[in-house]
Amino acid sequence: MHTTATATDDLAERYSRQILFSGIGSEGQQRLRHAHVAIAGCGATGAASAALLARAGIGHLTIIDRDFVEPSNLQRQMLFTEEDALESLPKVEAARRQIARFNSEIQVTAHIADIVPATVASLLQGADLILDATDNFETRYLLNDYAVQQGVPWIYAAAIGAYTATMNILPRSDGATAWKPTACLACIFPNPPSGTVETCDTAGILNTAVNVAASIQVTEALKFLTGQPNLMRRSLLSLDLWTGERSEISATEPRSTCEVCGQRNFIHLAGEGRPHITLCGRNSVQIHERHRPIDFESMRERLAPHGSVRFNSMLLRFERPPHTITLFADGRAIVQGTTDTALARTLYARFVGS
């Protein structure tokens, strides 16, 4: 009994300044302790949001990312260290380890995986709320399909250059809900952006923009998780931190003709997995055409005569200039040094196998 009381006192002390805030209080803190949030992506925005949620005392975080830490990440991705980059540690594993150092009380589930139609349900299962920290609209439309179908709220967030954007999506649910539905992503953007789309590789990115996006996203998440969805913003908010420009688009009501939340036509959820995708921030192509277990020791022996090989329990890196292949345990690979998907697939077939 004494041990339980001591643990309770310790938690009250840890979160005392947050509990003093009238918007949360003791009851809200208990709600946070029992909440489960899934974060889709653990790059700049995802790492910042994960750190904020972990420090706020969210009981269970599920973090999903397909990528590994590199030196160029350290300018803006707050959970990672130079050692993580040197080891090419998967981002979710680096995040899990770092969170454990400053809040060992919470549960962190780390998935080194890509979110595609075949995996989205299993990766996001059980989450009370989904936070978007991805770098492409294809995945965001998939998240939107899943969230609307399942009646699970999610929060869109993006940052590029000095620009940030966030939007809360509160979908209809078959059960009794405590919120009035908002527009979904497809209500605002029926079609993906057309023409040239800037990325952090072409436009750069400020770490301040990342942190603003994450701070807004997590604040909205705290409103929802403490049982106050009525206080959540019902608009697409855009900010340019460099010019000071600000804009809002109303997302108060679902669009009746929306193909997703109106007609419940989930074309992205029903689609086939993507065979490859160019990643944000570097000259790379991802290959995930099939799932198969990889024996890293055997692969090292096969590849060693052809280039430099190093591996740990989570990934193998094969360097054969000008290309580097990072191979994950499930057979997925990231081919660096090209944006030519045909060449990437050729390199994969040649060195990993078809």
Question: Would you say 44 and 143 are in contact if contact means Cβ atoms under 8 Å apart?
Answer: no
- Establish whether the linkage from the previous residue to 293 is cis, with ω within 30° of 0: no
Tokens of 11: 């938690």
Residue 305's Cβ-count burial label (10 Å; 0-12, 13-18, 19+) is exposed
**What is the bridge-based pairing of β-strands 36-40 and 60-65?**
parallel
Does residue 105 contact residue 61 with C-beta atoms inside 8 Å? no
Identity (one letter) of the amino acid at 333?
A
Whole-angstrom CA distances from 131 to 50, 214, 333 are 9, 10, 25
Amino acid residing at 247: S
Catalytic, 261? Answer no
Choosing from 184, 187, 200, 280, which is the catalytic residue? 200
SS3 134: coil
SS3 assignment, position 35: coil
β-bridge mates for residue 87, sequence order: none
Is the C-alpha dihedral spanning 235, 117, 210, 194 positive or negative?
Answer: negative
CB 194 within 8 Å of CB 183: no
Residues serving a catalytic function are 200
